[in-house]
Structure 1
Amino acid sequence: MLKHARRQILAGLIAAATLLGFAAPAAQAQIPYLQLPAQQPKYASIVVDAESGEVLYGKRADSARYPASITKVMTLYLMFEQLAAGQMTLEDRVVFSPRAAAAPPTKLFVKAGDSISVEEAMHALAIRSANDVAVAVAEKLGGSEARFAALMTLRARELGMDSTTFVNASGLPDSRQLSTARDLAVLSRAIMRDFPQYYTLFSTSQFTFRGSVIRGHNSLLRRELGVDGLKTGYTNASGYNIAISGVKNNRRLIVVVLGGASTAARDNHAQDLLLTGFDVADRRSRGERITVAQNLFEPEPTGPIMRPSREQGDGEQDGLKIVLATAPPPPAPTRAAAQAAPAGQWQVQVGAFKSKALAQEQLKLSRRRFAEAFSGAGTLVTDATAGFYRARFSGLTEARARAACETLKAKNQACMVIGPA
């Protein structure tokens, strides 16, 4: 009831600001919960369209911050790579060294010499945010946590995370471990694109380990927002962090909020950014010229902040575009180009893999599971780009491609609609 009333108040304030031209300072005072987070010295945030990469909003999005346990999304990314390449299975064991067992909480409290399965480790990282598991996984895959952290940083650079350095696999405090809201959005977008078959892990709110039910930290999964991931984090130095993604009206947005003053403040602000992002996207589709900053009653920026290799858009960052270095998404076609494009030239990408065989297997599984959505569609596996083969269904009209992707998303299966080149 309280959440419903809060949304009604937000909607009323947005409507009022529209009538007033977004210039009434009194409106800002009426919604302090939207304004206060940005005043925190550790705060940074970004809102990104997951399909196009457009930055809808950013506040200190390129300022160095401590990622805390959002770090574990990269730890999981490297695990997913090993699984996709066939170099590890879900049943393989992860053995805990004395160093791993001694990691500070939050943890599973597995004793030195004991082991858990890779699948249990994945759940423990994504849901429990277990630091002892992060160390054990790092030692299994890298030989040592330091070497694994170097691999994490290398992969970050390859993904386009230019401002990120990892020195551990958990996100435990270390002044050298730095990232930005923008880079963590790049990582979130990459893990959806490259490993849709594992992305549902981030929407799981609890798991059972040795007879005990272990619940996760992401309370936004339990709100009616369409949120299906990704990860929370906290240290004294970082403040309260979160990276989330949600879908509404066939549009997926990614929101990263860093440096919140409390769990509630962080979650409420992330929710506001997500809902406002969806509202702005919807109003833009109807021809309105509107920004997320305006919808939050923020003053317009005095000028755009430009960075090389990223494209102009709107918001405080003035809509720079998130670009994944290893596989830039194709440019979104203009309305005229889309109308002129011949039917049957749209594709749906269902994953990216280290081997062609794995990509082909994913196509078989997807066709079997979503037979109606891909009835009559062709299949293709692209040539390797930056070491990844992309599995795609082809020969679709735009309407069929978008409908098929919506069907997959409804089952928590990530996908990407790709228009004619």
Structure 2
Amino acid sequence: MFFSSLRRLQICFIVASLAFGLPVQAAYARSRVSEIVVDASTGTVLFSQAPDAARRPASLTKLMTLYLAFEALADGRLRLSDPLPISRRAARQPATHLGIAAGGRITVGKALDAIAAISSNDLAVAVAERIAGNEPKFARLMTAKARQLGMRNTRFTNASGLTSAGNVTTASDMAKLSRAIVRRFPRQYARFSRRTIQWRSRRIGNHNHLLGRVAGVDGIKTGYTSDAGYNLAASAMRRGRRIVVVVLGETSVSARDARVANLIELGFTGSRSKARRIRRR
């Protein structure tokens, strides 16, 4: 492959680190970071580093929560206009959340928007309970679906991705899930591209800072816990070609965003990064 040379890759990351104002040592050769670049159409791996190392998915878990919700919409078990009740368990979930009190309701459509854009933990649990009756049962469905999608090294124990001993995945598996969402649910995938969502009087920004800042990026999702580090699955389309990039375990938002932006450039051009500095909202 055209980026098989480690030296060439390191040079590319050095260029990116300068472009993003990062220390050079933070931009490459951190073995605990997993990353992969995949052609979304063919599944061809264009570049990877530790793609099959076991990692905590953090809120990338919600990609599977959303996948199962999209399936339920497709086969009629859910409708976007359906009211989604908030249980005590859902209401107790820590941030990020919308903070709806137990007994409250929100439509399924608005809930999916909040999960996709701002990683709402309370609504992830509410969706799980609506589909499967309870979160543990839903987690088993998540793991079963992972196996169907060829995600052999992934296991889910909750719907949100909050730290749990059994929650584990790999960059390779998350790339498979991201591709599956893009390919099977193109209309629902548009939810990941919304830069803001409206909730009551609040307008809340999408956690994916690459939207509108890196050419072609139109999804997909961020994740963070102290155990997992900073994770991001991103997808971009240029000139009719789509790639998926997954980075797991970075040390900061800025380092994660810079790494993903650079990998997107590598995926499309095989040359050094042309990405500009990503500024947080």
* TM over 0.5, shorter chain: yes
In the alignment, which residue of structure 1 is the partner of 2:276? none
Percent identical residues: 46
- Distance in 2, matches of 1:139 and 1:253, equals 33
**Higher RCO, Cα 8 Å, sep 6+:** 2
1:277-356 superposed matches below 5 A = 277-280=267-270
Unmatched 5+ residue regions in structure 2? 18-23, 274-281
Q: What is the one-letter code of the residue matched to 1:159?
A: L
Matched, 1:267 2:245: no
Instruction: Deviation per CA, 1:132-179: give whole Å up to 9, x if none.
Output: 111111111111100000000000000000000000000000121000
Q: What is the one-letter code of the residue matched to 1:128?
A: I
Post-superposition shift, 1:83? 0.6
In the alignment, which residue of structure 2 is the partner of 1:332? none
Matched, 1:90 2:80: yes
In the alignment, which residue of structure 2 is the partner of 1:223? 213
Selected match of 2:55 from 42, 65, 78 = 65
- Distance in 1, matches of 2:169 and 2:8, equals 35
CA RMSD of aligned residues (A): 2.3
Instruction: Deviation per CA, 1:321-365: give whole Å up to 9, x if none.
Output: xxxxxxxxxxxxxxxxxxxxxxxxxxxxxxxxxxxxxxxxxxxxx
Post-superposition shift, 1:204? 0.7
- Distance in 1, matches of 2:37 and 2:196, equals 27
Question: Do the aligned partners of residues 27 and 158 (structure 1) sit closer, same or farther apart at CA in structure 2, a change above 3 Å counting?
Answer: closer
Matched, 1:80 2:106: no
Matched, 1:213 2:203: yes
Q: Which moved more, 1:86-95 or 1:234-243?
A: 86-95
- Distance in 2, matches of 1:250 and 1:169, equals 33
Give the alignment's TM-score, normalised by structure 2: 0.88
Instruction: Deviation per CA, 1:367-420: give whole Å up to 9, x if none.
Output: xxxxxxxxxxxxxxxxxxxxxxxxxxxxxxxxxxxxxxxxxxxxxxxxxxxxxx
- Distance in 2, matches of 1:127 and 1:95, equals 20
- Distance in 1, matches of 2:13 and 2:264, equals 21
Question: Do the aligned partners of residues 95 and 224 (structure 1) sit closer, same or farther apart at CA in structure 2, a change above 3 Å counting?
Answer: same
Unmatched 5+ residue regions in structure 1? 1-20, 281-291, 297-421
Question: Do the aligned partners of residues 251 and 100 (structure 1) sit closer, same or farther apart at CA in structure 2, a change above 3 Å counting?
Answer: same
Matched, 1:245 2:224: no
- Distance in 2, matches of 1:25 and 1:207, equals 37
3-state DSSP of counterpart to 1:221: coil
Give the alignment's TM-score, normalised by structure 1: 0.60
Question: Is the contact between residue 42 and residue 238 of structure 1 (CA under 8 Å) also seen in structure 2?
Answer: no
Which structure would you say has the larger Rg?
1
Question: Is the contact between residue 157 and residue 166 of structure 2 (CA under 8 Å) also seen in structure 1?
Answer: yes
Question: Do the aligned partners of residues 81 and 27 (structure 1) sit closer, same or farther apart at CA in structure 2, a change above 3 Å counting?
Answer: closer
- Distance in 2, matches of 1:204 and 1:24, equals 35
In the alignment, which residue of structure 1 is the partner of 2:183? 193
Post-superposition shift, 1:239? 0.5
Question: Do the aligned partners of residues 238 and 117 (structure 1) sit closer, same or farther apart at CA in structure 2, a change above 3 Å counting?
Answer: same
Question: Do the aligned partners of residues 22 and 113 (structure 1) sit closer, same or farther apart at CA in structure 2, a change above 3 Å counting?
Answer: closer
- Distance in 1, matches of 2:263 and 2:9, equals 20
Post-superposition shift, 1:31? 3.8
